[in-house]
Amino acid sequence: MAQNTQMLKGILEGCILKIISENETYGYEICEKLLTFGFNQVTEGSVYPILIRLEKKELIYSVMKPSPLGPMRKYYYISNEGSIELNNFIITWNEIKKNVENVLGE
């Protein structure tokens, strides 16, 4: 389990950037999307620190907006730097995936 957690840390940043790049979104919605993509071990407790880290790196930014169901909600958007980082992640991921598949004989 700890091995999965270590692998997920780097991968989740790229996946979260991809989700944010597709449309404005908020933390809980990101968690729900990750679950629908099969990331069953991912919790809000692991997603929110990543969002904070991405925002500190200026790869994403946020805007507080009214929520239809209650208090204000923080919506996330990808920055230009975030789009570049996402592109780099995709290139790196495809290369790693190909190499692992070569090793595994798939």
Structural domains of the chain, ranges and CATH numbers in brackets: 2-104 (1.10.10.10)
* pTM value surpassing 0.95: no
Buried b (16+ CB within 10 A) or exposed e, 81-106: ebeebbeebeeeeeeeeeeeeeeeee
Contact yes or no for 13/76 (Cβ under 8 A) = no
Angle between the N-to-C axes of helices 27-36 and 44-56, in degrees from 0 to 180, rounded to the nearest 10: 120
- Confidence band of 5 (pLDDT split at 50, 70, 90): low
pLDDT tens column, 69-85: 888 999 999 999 999 99
